[in-house]
Chains A and B, each alone.
Chain A
Amino acid sequence: MKTLIKISWRNIWRNRSRTIVIITAIILGLMGGIFSAAMRLAMEQQQFEDTIDNQVSHIQIHHPEFIANPEAQYRIPGGNEIAKELKEREDITVASPRMVTDGMISSANMNSGVRIKGVDPVIESKTTGLDQLIVDGEYFTAEGRIPSILIGRALANDLNAGVGSRLVLTFQDIEGEMISSSFRVEGLYKITARRFEERTVFVKSSVINELIGEENAVTEIAIFLEEPDNYRSISRDISEIYPETKVRHWADLEPSLYYSLEVLNESLIWILIIIIMAVSFGLLNTILMSILERVRELGVLLAIGMKRARVFSMIVIETTIISIIGGATGLVLSWIMINILGNTGVNIPGGEGLEEFGYASVLYPRIETSFYFEIAVVIVIFAILASIYPAWKAIRLQPAEAVRQE
């Protein structure tokens, strides 16, 4: 066995440049594959975090009717108390009561349907970090006569408005009567989801509560969890405790996000498998060429009594060694690459375009360590598969024929 490995090792380096070419192909294939997998993962992760943090949170609670008619009439009875009780729970980090309603926003010559979120500025900055998203103007600091409103950058564009502009909100009060009121744009926020930016405005809950005519109105409770993975069991739990409310978790609220994450986790390894398969064909070709060049020599080995099984193993070992050198180097270099890029981030050229679809323009690729091991296993499996055909060719040689060959 030791000798077999020694011979295989030396055989590999007989045609040095050919071996280096195939090893380089393995390395580049792996780095490319892992890079694209890590970028896809980072993209989805980024979108996931943005969506959860800035938009849907982990769990939302509403009045059952509110889902179809997001109006002030459908408030959560005792919403503030429920939020307080939930906050006491160990597994919940944030339970933020909001007064949310659909309405219309109008500038001098344009109007647009929006979701109005009445929030507590202090709680909101602590939970969703809304204050961090302001790119122009201020975050609920003005004390003027006209109340403040924060709108998305995209909406400001659509309405031709800016910081300081006066806009009118129209929505229903608790009785279902239409009311209108003026607001002054105090700040513009920016998030990665353009649709959300265009459709969502923030005002102080105290202001909107006064307008709709109820001091402690709550139509939505947004919840963040200590252990996000437990979202299913906790939301079931909550809906049992408050059966008169509608409890939904993020996967209910954003099914497309949920499924794309599920699919992605499955598909990443397949991307790599396809790349490794392609590289394996190159490897197969390389080994096959080396067999054809060695017909006489292999014939002599078979003639002097080297068993076919050993010749077979020799070819398999040669292939495996090449794949291990290429695979190990490729994985280590990929690991280094991902670690560096995971810290510095990767700028996506034309990233601004991506933002419309909810993707960030700078990504931080990251891959779990276990993924590298999975790939390593795949590489070795495919290398062995790639060696079977050439090795089979080699042992099918008839020694008498092979040594006759000129």
Chain B
Amino acid sequence: MKTVIKTTDLSKVYTETAVPVHALKNVNIEFKEGEFTAIVGPSGSGKTTFLNVIGGLDKPTGGHVVIDGVDIATMKESKLFDFRMRHIGFVFQAYNLIPVLTAIENVSFIMLLQNRPKAEMENRAKEMLEQVGLSDKLDVRPSKLSGGQQQRVAVARALASKPDFVLADEPTANLDTESAFNLLDIMAKLNKEENITLIFSTHDHRVIERARRVITLVDGAVASDEHFERAER
């Protein structure tokens, strides 16, 4: 299967602090197309740092991140904006959505930045909102949606532009159990149906079991990397 992301000797040291923090230490990981991976580990183990670095939001201090044959670790910042927009989908812990745009406008937003034709954009946005079970909330603004619904819109937005992969940093952290399971189920379903590579971080044991690959980070290094066969739900 095709490799989507490959990191070699990836490291990140934060030096702005009094004592330098080694947030990532020589991380070598490969992500294949269509994988559904959970990054787990205790607080401060480097999950967010890892996702930021492979998502091009932050520069590593050493090593390489090769996506689609390109090393983004050395990419110019102006090029990175475009690269992120075309290749990577993001879901953050909270406040993902543009508050002044409706659900469908939020989902269309990246496609809009990509100058996609209007009709295609609308159809795709509707389709995605339907996939996440929000076809009745198209014209609703985020403030009128529950936390779980907002995260589902964010997932729909991240996937709508068909990126190479989607990074989700603790997408369920602010959700109750039911919403968290619901969101993960939707992500699992989309991962399968759209064949989009999904990587999410969590320290929520309830949702880890939904992933087919679980990478455990401890102190910025990979402690374990397990693959599971999951029964279809």
Contact = CB atoms under 8 A, between A and B. Distances in A.
Interface in A1-38: 3, 7, 10-11, 14
Contacts of A14: 99-100
Contacts of B100: 7, 10-11, 14
Nearest to B141: A10
Contact of B96 (A7, A300, A302): A300
Nearest to B100: A10
A326 interface: no
B90 interface: yes
Contact-residue size bin, chain B (C-beta under 8 Å from the other chain): 20 to 34
B110 A305 contact: yes
Interface string A386-406: 000000000000111001100
B135 interface: no
B131 interface: no
B48 A404 contact: yes
Interface residues of A, number: 22
A304 B48 contact: no
Contact of B110 (A7, A11, A304, A400): A304
A35 B81 CA distance: 50
Contacts of A400: 52, 57-58
A162 B95 CA distance: 86
B58 A305 contact: no
A306 interface: yes
Contacts, number: 55
Contact of A3 (B82, B86, B112): B112
Interface string B38-79: 000000000010001001011000000000000000000000
A130 B81 CA distance: 79
A114 to B, nearest CB: 76
A297 interface: yes
Contact of A305 (B52, B82, B92, B101): B82
B53 to A, nearest CB: 9
B84 interface: yes
A399 B56 CA distance: 10
A305 B96 CA distance: 13
A321 interface: no
A253 interface: no
A14 B95 CA distance: 16
Interface in A282-310: 296-297, 300-308, 310
Contacts of A308: 81
A297 B81 contact: no
Nearest to A11: B100
B110 A300 contact: no
B45 to A, nearest CB: 15
A303 B95 contact: no
Contacts of B55: 303
B99 A7 contact: no
8 contacts: A7-B100, A304-B89, A305-B82, A305-B86, A398-B58, A399-B57, A400-B57, A403-B57
Given A310-B113, A404-B48, 18 more contacts: A3-B112, A300-B92, A300-B96, A300-B98, A303-B57, A303-B84, A303-B92, A304-B84, A304-B90, A304-B109, A305-B86, A305-B113, A306-B85, A308-B81, A398-B58, A399-B57, A400-B57, A403-B92
**Shortest Cβ-Cβ A-B pairs, 5 listed:** A305-B85, A10-B100, A400-B57, A400-B58, A305-B84
